[in-house]
Amino acid sequence: MRLAFLPREEKFFFLLHQSAMNIHKVAIKLQDLMEDYTNVPAKVEEIKVLEEFGDEAIHQIMQALHRTFVTPLDREDIALLAERLDDVVDAIEEAARTMLEYRVEAPTQYAIEMSRVITRCGAVLEKAVGLLSSRGGKLKEILPHAVELNSLENEGDQINSRAMGALFNDSNDTIFILKWRDIYSYLEDATDRAEDAANVLEAIVLKHA
């Protein structure tokens, strides 16, 4: 992250956008893990490395908030958005790591579908956060992306509901049920946290547009 020559105001937008771009990258890695369940330890490690990159971006945002007297957006909104973006990555990393730690033999079709929804969330977040540095009416271009993230969260909920129903109705294997209950929970959490980020973005637009 080359920040030394960026104006202070732009550093916040740059770091937030880096965080959103990182979500998209992590989500693509998760989808690849689900769709091509090979070399699992290596793929999970790649996700972990990206999660640590995201942690560093959030750390830099928080440091910049402490050092900067005047911020381009309300400092509480910057901090909250940074935290919600980090939550998305954390949920994705937990899902991937749990699959490795639980020695899951193969992903379910529901997990594959959820990973695709999460990747779409990542793509939309990248676009939406990239618009934060806009001025005036252009900032309102974020709002359709926030609506789309809400729709994706609903889609994720529906997939998770079907997944949980199938899990408890179609399997008598208690260990299998417990494993997938946890994994589905983390996958759903990723879409929930993406919606949380969308809500923060919407609030920012309503304040500043």
C-alpha–C-alpha distance, residues 204 and 4, integer Å:
26
Residue 8 host element (H or E)? helix 8-35
Q: Does residue 19 contact residue 86 with C-beta atoms inside 8 Å?
A: yes
- What amino acid occupies position 111? A
Counted residue by residue, the chain has a size of: 209
* pLDDT in 10s for each residue of the chain, 209 residues: 544 444 566 788 999 999 999 999 999 999 999 999 999 999 999 999 999 999 999 999 999 888 877 788 888 999 999 999 999 999 999 999 999 999 999 999 999 999 999 999 999 999 999 999 876 668 899 999 999 999 999 999 999 999 999 999 988 899 999 999 999 999 999 999 999 999 999 999 998 76
- Can you say how many angstroms the Cα of residue 164 is from the centroid of all Cα atoms in its chain? 22
Cβ neighbors of 159 (< 8 A, separation 6 or more) are 110, 113, 114, 117
pLDDT (0 to 100) of residue 67: 83
Topology given in CATH for the domain delimited by 8-208: Methane Monooxygenase Hydroxylase; Chain G, domain 1 (1.20.58)
pTM of structure? 0.93
Domain ranges of the chain: 8-208
